[in-house]
Structure 1
Amino acid sequence: MTPDTLTGLRAGEDAALARLHTRLADAAQEQGLLEIAYTVISTPVGELLLAATDAGLVRVGFGVEGHDTVLAQLSARISPRILLAPGRLAEPVRQLEEYFAGTRRDFSLALDFRLATGFRRTVVEHLPDIGYGSTASYAALAALAGSPGAVRAAGTACARNPLPVVVPCHRVVRSDGKIGNYLGGTDAKATLLAMEAAA
């Protein structure tokens, strides 16, 4: 058997496995067995894991978090019924591609905020109030969320935002003008801020 023949066989097997996986994901979705669908996309801030429930996008995970770790957390907190099923994520993928191409400034997606609770959820829900290309301090965000004295709690909410990029915690900076920490790393935060400032 020649190397070209082996390569052709492997390609055929890979294609067959991909078709089988797609059929499995479709069947799981139709039968209500798929609690969390996920996919991974390449972006200017690294590979992002996108996960969605029937209610909407539930998690955006950076590569630096460890995608296996993110999936394990989703399994523990929501459901172990997780499957690579890009079909459910087609719209979030499209909108993120537009965002990174500079043609989208706001996201219009169904979002599942179940991973943020209490004051953290209130803070996360106010993050889209900080417009594209703008920044706000953690103190201003705490005030937006109705608790001006809860600056540290607002910072913690940003650090634990389950939907970074889509829900823009990267637009929150320190009062001294420094960009501060970020779940995806300070380089990713700087990249996002520079991209929006240049638009």
Structure 2
Amino acid sequence: MTFRYDFAPTPFGDALAVFSEEGIVRFDLSEADDPSVPWLLEGVAQRLRAVPEADPGAAGELTALLDDYFDGAPVAFHEHLALDWRLAEGFTRHALQTIRTISWGETVSYGEIAVLAGHPGAARAVGTACRNTPFSIIVPVHRVVRSDGSPGHYGAHPERKRYLLDLESHR
């Protein structure tokens, strides 16, 4: 299996996009200021057991969708992009596939996702799935909130989650 990577611009900086023949494998809003840092790509390569090759332009369709999204259009990424789920297994995959169905501008609690995913009481596991998603923004984990309606975290950047929720609330 061949893996390719490119970078897609976001308001948070360039994000790493990794693709297989089956679709996008990973979209990573890096914790680093520079997503091209070797450790980020090494981590992805280790998980894939293959070194992705640079492919400038590979993220063209994704970039166009992101541009529309950040311009305020209600983009359902999974309707336009094939997702390769190999980096999400078990309950994490099931929770993320459930989260994928949350509509633009809507929010659902971690506990509600657990129930919808068939595992009542697994709200913390839903939080872990959100934190470990291989598909930042593409699978809208930012739409999953605490039971009191407060946003909660988004990795180390809760301000990004607030930004995304605010963006979607203006439509």
Tell me the TM-score normalised to structure 2 length.
Answer: 0.89
Query: Could you tell me how far 1:51 is from its partner in structure 2?
Result: 1.2
Moved over 4 A (4+): none
For 1:91, the aligned partner's letter is E
Which is worse superposed, 39-48 or 137-146?
Answer: 39-48
- Partner residue in 1 for 2:116: 144
C-alpha distance in 2, partners of 1:81/1:46?
23
CA RMSD of aligned residues (A): 1.7
Aligned ranges 1:87-126 → 2 under 5 Å: 87-107=57-77, 108-126=80-98
Query: Could you tell me how far 1:127 is from its partner in structure 2?
Result: 0.9
Query: Could you tell me how far 1:184 is from its partner in structure 2?
Result: 5.9
C-alpha distance in 1, partners of 2:148/2:73?
31
Q: 1:62 to 1:166 in 2, by over 3 A?
A: same
Residue 38 (1) aligns with residue 5 (2): yes
For 1:76, the aligned partner's letter is Q
| Preserved contact between residue 49 and residue 62 of structure 1 (Cα < 8 Å) | yes
* Count of paired positions: 166
| Preserved contact between residue 57 and residue 92 of structure 1 (Cα < 8 Å) | no
For 2:16, the aligned partner's letter is L
C-alpha distance in 2, partners of 1:41/1:125?
23
Q: SS of the counterpart of 1:63?
A: coil
| Larger RCO (CA within 8 A; separation ≥ 6) | 2
Residue 61 (1) aligns with residue 28 (2): yes
Identity of aligned residues (%): 38
C-alpha distance in 1, partners of 2:74/2:4?
24
Q: Which has the higher helix share?
A: 1
In structure 2, stretches of 5+ residues that fail to align are none
Q: SS of the counterpart of 2:159?
A: helix
Deviations 1:67-106 (A, max 9, x none): 3333112111114331221333221122111111223421
Tell me the TM-score normalised to structure 1 length.
Answer: 0.77
- Partner residue in 2 for 1:74: 44
Aligned ranges 1:126-137 → 2 under 5 Å: 126-137=98-109
Which is worse superposed, 47-56 or 165-174?
Answer: 47-56
